[in-house]
Amino acid sequence: MTWDDMQPLLHDATIETLQMVGIATLVTLLLGLPLGILLVLTDRGGLLRNRPVNKVVGAIVNVGRSLPFVILLVALIPFTRWVVGTSIGWQAATVPLAVGAIPFYARLVETAVRGVDGGLVEAVQAMGGSTWAVVRKALLPEALPDLVSALTTTVIALIGYSAMAGTVGGGGLGNLAITYGYMRFETGFMIVIVIELVVLVTLVQLIGDLVVRRLSHRGAATGLLARLRRA
Amino acid sequence: MITTKDLTKVYTSRGRQVSALRGVDLHVREGEVYGVVGTSGAGKSTLIRCVNMLERPTSGTVTVAGVELTALRGSEHRAGRELREARRRIGMVFQHFNLLSSRTVQENVELPLEITGLDRAARRRRAAELLELVGLGGKAGAYPGQLSGGQKQRVGIARALAGDPKVLLSDEATSALDPETTRSILGLLRTLNQELGLTVLLITHEMDVVKSVCDSAALMRDGRIVESGTLTDLLSDGTSELARELFPLGDSAGPDGTVLEITFQGDSSGRPFISQLARTYQIDLNILGAAVETIGGRQVGRMRVQLPGFHQDNVVPIGYLREQGLQVDVITETGANAFGSKGVLA
């Protein structure tokens, strides 16, 4: 295969991957974040402590995380058809991707929010804040760098999962690598695709780290930098 | 201003019950600085957290500024609307400051005002005022991570004052600070108390804190208040453990003779009564220990002296000292060492 043969294929596959991962990430953020916070709040010692709710949500998250993605992809076909109206194509692949990533991100959110000093929760309560105020003013802003870092990990995991989307005709870079590189023995093409994936993942990680660094005001190092910048 | 009646708090953990408070009656008057001292585990932290219902007492009542907080709705972890509103009128400062690292100093001070729903311009104005008040006018844009411990606590105090409270609770506010910073923070609390008429309830394990800012104090042990009162009253009570802790003279009773402990407050501290005593009665006095300190803005001194002979030989000189308005306690007689060091806070 020549570069001219590869280019249009690469172009389409890249767009597909970005669409799948992008939409799945958005849905994951929208649903995984509240779920993770709910896990912390309903747990023992939490502000909304509620054992039954905590157990049920925890169990659902665990089941979601233990299912292999390929199985999820197939098992969810009826649900996928109900949500997006089709069970093939990149649109269909976004549903299992999101369903797989939501519990993954929820657990990471849980860990991040748990890391917030309990004293801050108490401070907001002492100044007359409601549970909602505690979440909005203390838990989320203080956990933000960790939440972004968790999202970076999730996006990268989604890029990996999206390779399997080919099973339902979802397309994307991973699918291209398998159908051309593996099945048709186009090793050169496979190397190109793998390089693109490496670049993509590295880029996501770099952007994530950059955002995290901008958001943290904790260490003395950031303090020093800020002071130098102001001087 | 703050009254607790028969307050108890029982924690249950793994089926075992632990009593942190066993019937605490506390009365803090308006405009005073009240210190609760005790070792860790005495229950003082539970007590102060019960005052704004961060911990809900098992039984008993808490009344702050005329509002009975224990009667307001809400579980321990979710306060009802009325309790949340009552809390806005009670400021609290913490040992570890509890500032949001993601917000600047100014934004930290604005936080309680955001919760009360004040508009942006008013919040900004108020925060600037408060930062000026605590001496951090130039630090509005800094992040807590860039501040020293003392500066962080000043931010904590400014934040606690944002809602214009009548009562300030201080939970070991100076325990994480070095002695010099502690002094400056205590000085600030004193100033706020005097200028704003703020009632301050503080808990501490350091006697020096009580000595330098408190008007009244209480000693806690095993979930109970064992002693309480104004410092002036406590110091003129010869049996007060708190007074002894404020004035540790050591354990230096001589082998024989009569040992007296003389406490003097206010203007009597300026008079040379010891040399007058020696001259008038021709007694050879032996000074075993002495200290003069400023407690709650008043000069207070205590001295332990040894007089030769038995108690009955010294009735006249003791009477002379009492006539001078001094408080005299007879500690020992001729070798019988009745007074051992009672380490209240050792």
DSSP category for residue B12:
E
The reply to whether B254 and B224 lie within a common domain is: no
The reply to whether B154 and B275 lie within a common domain is: no
Contact A120 B116 (CB under 8 A): no
Q: Report the pLDDT value the prediction gives residue B252, as an integer from 0 to 100.
A: 57
Which segment, A27-31, A221-225, B79-83, B235-239, is predicted with the most confidence on average? Answer: A27-31
Range 77-96 of A in CB contact (< 8 A) with B: none
The reply to whether B134 and B269 lie within a common domain is: no
The reply to whether B135 and B167 lie within a common domain is: yes
Q: Report the pLDDT value the prediction gives residue B337, as an integer from 0 to 100.
A: 42
CA distance A135 to A47: 10
* B79 vs A117, A125, A223: nearest CB: A125
Chain A residues near residue B162 by CB distance under 8 angstroms: 127
The reply to whether B106 and B225 lie within a common domain is: yes
B243 domain-assigned: no
CA distance A45 to A50: 10
| pLDDT digit string, tens, across residues B242-268 | 887 877 776 655 567 788 888 887 766
The residue out of B214, B235, B256 marking a domain boundary is: B235
Lowest mean pLDDT among A20-34, A42-56, B251-265, B280-294: B251-265
Question: Which H or E run includes B4?
Answer: strand B2-13
8 A C-beta contact, residue A163 and residue A172: yes
B344 domain-assigned: no
A18: Cα separation from own chain's centroid: 13
The average pLDDT across A81-98 equals: 88
B211 domain-assigned: yes
What three-state secondary structure class fits B189? helix
Contact A141 B103 (CB under 8 A): yes
Mean pLDDT computed over every residue of chain A: 88
B305 domain-assigned: yes
What three-state secondary structure class fits A42? helix
Per-residue DSSP letters for B121-182? HHHHHHHHHHHHHTT-GGGTT--GGGS-HHHHHHHHHHHHHTT--SEEEEESTTTTS-HHHH
CA distance B38 to B221: 6
Q: Report the pLDDT value the prediction gives residue B253, as an integer from 0 to 100.
A: 56
Mention every residue, 6+ apart, whose C-beta is less than 8 A from residue B340. B251
Among B94, B100, B130, B167, the residue to mutate for chain A (most A Cβ within 10 A): B100
Q: What is the CATH number of the domain that holds B52?
A: 3.40.50.300
A146 pLDDT higher than 80: yes
Chain B residues near residue A227 by CB distance under 8 angstroms: 146
Contact B103 A220 (CB under 8 A): no
The reply to whether B11 and B40 lie within a common domain is: yes
A187: Cα separation from own chain's centroid: 30
Contact B163 A220 (CB under 8 A): no
Range 161-220 of A in CB contact (< 8 A) with B: 215, 217-220
The average pLDDT across A67-87 equals: 88
* A227 vs B88, B115, B146: nearest CB: B146
Among B11, B99, B102, the residue to mutate for chain A (most A Cβ within 10 A): B102
CA angle B45, B46, B50 (to 5 degrees): 120
* B102 vs A47, A144, A219: nearest CB: A144
Mention every residue, 6+ apart, whose C-beta is less than 8 A from residue A206. none
The average pLDDT across A1-8 equals: 84
Which residue segment(s) compose the domain that B8 sits in? 2-235
Q: Report the pLDDT value the prediction gives residue A223, as an integer from 0 to 100.
A: 45
Which residue numbers in chain B have pLDDT < 70?
76, 250-255, 267-270, 296-297, 332-346
B242 domain-assigned: no
Q: A190: distance to nearest CA of chain B, Å? A: 44
Interface size between A and B, measured as CB pairs under 8 A: 87
The residue out of B210, B235, B260 marking a domain boundary is: B235
Please list the residues that pair with B204 across neighbouring strands: B37
The reply to whether B197 and B299 lie within a common domain is: no
Q: A133: distance to nearest CA of chain B, Å? A: 7
* Number of domains chain B contains: 2
Please list the residues that pair with B262 across neighbouring strands: B303, B328
If we measure between CA atoms, which residue out of A104, A89, A95, A91 comes closest to residue A73? A95
The reply to whether B126 and B177 lie within a common domain is: yes
Q: Report the pLDDT value the prediction gives residue B343, as an integer from 0 to 100.
A: 38
The reply to whether B74 and B211 lie within a common domain is: yes
The residue out of B235, B266, B293 marking a domain boundary is: B235
The average pLDDT across A124-135 equals: 94
B162 domain-assigned: yes
Q: Report the pLDDT value the prediction gives residue A220, as an integer from 0 to 100.
A: 43
Q: What is the CATH number of the domain that holds B316?
A: 3.30.70.260
Q: Report the pLDDT value the prediction gives residue A71, as an integer from 0 to 100.
A: 87
| pLDDT digit string, tens, across residues A160-178 | 888 877 666 778 888 888 8
Among A51, A127, A222, the residue to mutate for chain B (most B Cβ within 10 A): A127
Contact B115 A124 (CB under 8 A): yes
The reply to whether B192 and B272 lie within a common domain is: no
Burial class (CB in 10 A: 0-12, 13-18, 19+), A206: exposed
B54–chain A Cβ distance below 8 A for any pair: yes
Report the Cα–Cα distance between both ends of chain A, in Å, rounded: 57
B341 domain-assigned: no
- In chain A, the residue whose alpha carbon lies closest to the alpha carbon of B107 is A137
Q: Report the pLDDT value the prediction gives residue B296, as an integer from 0 to 100.
A: 66
A16 pLDDT higher than 50: yes
List of domains in chain A: 16-174 (1.10.3720.10)
Q: Report the pLDDT value the prediction gives residue B243, as an integer from 0 to 100.
A: 81
The reply to whether B177 and B273 lie within a common domain is: no
ipTM attached to this prediction? 0.81
Read off the tokens for B334. 């001729």
Mention every residue, 6+ apart, whose C-beta is less than 8 A from residue B282. none
Per-residue DSSP letters for A96-136? HHHHHHHHHHHHHHHHHHHTS-HHHHHHHHHTT--HHHIII
**How many other C-beta atoms lie within 10 A of the C-beta of residue A7?**
11
Range 48-77 of A in CB contact (< 8 A) with B: 48-49
The reply to whether B301 and B200 lie within a common domain is: no
If we measure between CA atoms, which residue out of A6, A7, A27 comes closest to residue A158? A27
B340 domain-assigned: no
CA distance B284 to B307: 7
